[in-house]
Amino acid sequence: MKRLALAVALIAITLFGVVPSAQAQQGNCVLPGDILDVPTPGFLRNATPNLRTRVSGTLLPATLISHTTSRLRVRLPLSGLPYSVQFHVVHVEPNGSTKVVASARICDDPNGGGGLGPGGGGTGTGPGGRSGLGQGLSLRTPNGQPLVRATRNEVAAPSGGPEYLLIGSSEEVARAQTMMSREGVSILRNTSLGALGARMSAVDLNGRMSLAELRSRLARQRISVIVDKHSVYGAAKGRTTYANRLLGLAPDTGCKLNRPVRVGVIDGPVDTSNPALRGVSVKSTSVLFPRDRTGSVDHATGIVALISGWGTDKLPQGISPGAEIFSVVAFARNGGRSVARLESIAQGLNWMVENNVDIVNMSLAGPKNDSLEDIVKTVARKGLIMVAATGNGGRAAVAYPASDPNVIAITAVDARARLYKHANGGPEVDFSAPGVDLLLPRGRGTTFASGTSYAAAFATAIIAQEVARSGLRKQQLLNTLRQRSRDLGRPGRDSRFGWGLIQADSCK
C-alpha cells in the first residue's frame, strides 16, 4: 500500500439524506404544529439542541427539524398550548437549567372564548394543527338543531363543524361565494392555484345547510365548482410500502436472514436505544479524535433501520432483519454539517476487515483521492463487498468512493421508478434503489427523507440476503443482481439507472 499522509488528510465526505421542509409559521402569531424558523443562538452553534416548549412554567415537546450554525427550525406541539398566550422555545441543559431560543404568541381563539387552545380537547384538526372547540360545548345550528362536529379526519371551521373547500375557476368561485354569503355561509379564505388555472375557497357553512343542500343549490344556479369537506390526509399508515414493492418484496416486511451476515456502516453514531432498532445487534466503534463533536444520530439510525430493523407500529421492517451491524462512527460536526476525514474512513475500513465484516455500506461521497483509492483497492482484495451512494449533487459525475470500480454504486429512484432529481449520474452507476420520501426514525418519532444514501442502504440489505443465501463473491453476486434487475431508462446499463432497479429474490 502506498504510504499515506493520513494525519493531514481532511477530505470532507458529506452525508446524503435530505429531509423535506414543512409549512411556514403564520403571520404575527402561530398555531400548534407550526414551524418556527429562527436564528441559531450563539450557545447552540456548537452544541446539540435539546428543545422544549415552555408555557406557564410547563415544558411541552418541541421537535427539531433542522439545525445549522445560522438557523434553527422547530415544530411546535399539536396540543397543550392555550390560546392567546406567550410561550418560549427553550434549550434544556444537562443540569436541568433552560436557555430561551425563541419566543412567540399563540393565536387568539377564533370563537372568542377561553379554555384550551388548538388541540386541547377538540375533535377536528385545522390548519397548523388547529382543532375544533373544547369538549362539553353544545353546538347548535341557527334552527336549533345540533351542529355536526368536524371529525379528526376533517379540518374544523370556527363554528366547530367541518370546513368545506370549493374549487373552480375564479369566476365560478366568485359566483358561488356571492350565493353562499346571502345564505349565511362564512368565507374563510381564498387561495389561487395559478398553475392549475383554478381558485380554491374555504368556507364555514355555520349549520345553514348540509353538503348535499349546498351542492343542490349550486347545481340549480348552474355554478360549476367542486365542493367537498376539507379532509385531513395521513401518510398511508406511515409505511414505506412503495419501497418493498419496487424491490419485489411483500409490503412492510423484509426477509429474515437464514444465517447471520455482518454488515458494516461507516456513518455517524447509531442510536441503539431507538425503538426502530430494538432487537438489532449493533457493535460500534468510534474513530473520531477526542476533541471532535459527534454528528447527529438520525442519519446512521435511519440507515440501520432500513437494513435490519425489526419494525414498530409506525415503521416497517428493514429489508434484512437479522443482519449484524458493525457501526463505525466516522462523522463529526463541522461548521453546521457532518464530515468524515479520510483518516477516519481508512480506520473504519480497517476495523471492518479486522472484524470479518461481509459488506460495508458507505452512504458518503466526496472527491476522488489517490490515498483513499489505494485503501479501497486493498480492502477489496480482502474480500469485503463495498456499497456506496452516487451522491446528491445533481451532477453527471458519480462521487467517490462510489465511482471506484471496486465499489458498487447505487443511485436513487422514487415510487414511480423515476430518477431522484438530485442524484449524481455517470457510467459508474451499477444499480438503482428506492431513495425518495422514505419514512425513517427521527428521535422517538418519524420523518420523511430522501437521498442516495438511503438507496445504498436498500441495496446493501439485498446484497446481505444474497450473501446469507449463497455466500457469493462480489463478481458472482453482481452477475446475479444484473440478471435479476428491472431495466430502467435505455435498454441495458446506462449512466442514469445503471443496470436498473435492484431486485430481491423471494424470501427463502
pLDDT means per 10 residues, the chain with 508 residues, are 39 38 44 79 85 85 81 77 82 87 74 37 30 32 58 66 83 91 86 70 85 91 86 38 84 86 95 93 91 86 94 88 94 74 85 94 83 87 94 90 95 92 94 92 86 94 92 86 91 93 85
CA 29 to each of CA 36, 72, 85, 107, 435: distance values in angstroms, whole numbers, following the listed order: 11, 18, 10, 5, 36
Instruction: Give the integer Cα–Cα distance in Å for 129 and 154.
Output: 11
pLDDT of the residue at 235: 26
Q: If residue 317 lies in a helix (H) or strand (E), which one and from where to where?
A: none
pLDDT of the residue at 384: 94
pLDDT of the residue at 126: 31
Q: What pTM value is reported for the model?
A: 0.57
pLDDT of the residue at 155: 63
Task: Output the CA angle 364-368-371, nearest 5 degrees.
Answer: 100
pLDDT of the residue at 123: 24
Instruction: Give the integer Cα–Cα distance in Å for 342 and 287.
Output: 11
Instruction: Give DSSP secondary structure letters for 457-493.
Output: HHHHHHHHHHHHHH---HHHHHHHHHHHSB--SSSS-
pLDDT of the residue at 195: 55
pLDDT of the residue at 238: 35
Instruction: Give the integer Cα–Cα distance in Å for 491 and 494.
Output: 8
Instruction: Give the integer Cα–Cα distance in Å for 16 and 449.
Output: 10
Instruction: Give the integer Cα–Cα distance in Å for 472 and 484.
Output: 15
List the one residue out of 284, 329, 282 whose CA is nearest residue 304: 282
pLDDT of the residue at 374: 83
- Which residues, at least 6 apart from 312, have a Cβ–Cβ distance to it below 8 Å? 275, 276, 278
Q: Residue 300: helix, strand or coil by DSSP?
A: helix
- Which residues, at least 6 apart from 39, have a Cβ–Cβ distance to it below 8 Å? 70, 71, 72
- Which residues, at least 6 apart from 130, have a Cβ–Cβ distance to it below 8 Å? 31, 32, 110, 118, 119, 155, 156
- Which residues, at least 6 apart from 115, have a Cβ–Cβ distance to it below 8 Å? 82, 83, 109, 121, 134
Edge-to-edge strands, sheet with 13-15: 332-334, 337-340, 13-15, 364-365
Instruction: Write 502-505 long-range contacts (CB < 8 A, 24+).
Output: 502/247, 502/410, 502/431, 502/432, 502/433, 502/458, 502/459, 502/462, 503/247, 503/248, 503/462, 504/247, 504/248, 504/249, 504/255, 504/319, 504/462, 504/465, 505/248, 505/465, 505/466, 505/469
Please say whether the beta carbons of 309 and 277 come within 8 A: yes
The CA radius of gyration of the chain, in Å to the nearest whole number, is: 27
pLDDT of the residue at 328: 93
Edge-to-edge strands, sheet with 63-67: 35-39, 71-75, 63-67
Please say whether the beta carbons of 124 and 132 come within 8 A: yes
pLDDT of the residue at 304: 96
pLDDT of the residue at 375: 87
Instruction: Give the integer Cα–Cα distance in Å for 499 and 429.
Output: 8
Residues in the chain, overall count: 508
The letter for the amino acid at 96 is G
pLDDT of the residue at 111: 43
Beta bridge partners of 154: 231
pLDDT of the residue at 468: 92
- Which residues, at least 6 apart from 259, have a Cβ–Cβ distance to it below 8 Å? 468
CA 141 to each of CA 160, 161, 404: distance values in angstroms, whole numbers, following the listed order: 11, 10, 70
Helix residue spans in 282-393 (DSSP H): 298-308, 342-354, 370-381
Burial of 211 (0-12, 13-18, 19+ CB in 10 A): middle
Dihedral sign from CA coordinates of 212, 217, 220, 224: negative
- Which residues, at least 6 apart from 156, have a Cβ–Cβ distance to it below 8 Å? 122, 123, 124, 125, 126, 130, 131, 132, 133, 149, 150, 162, 163
Phi and psi at residue 475, to the nearest 5°: -65, -40
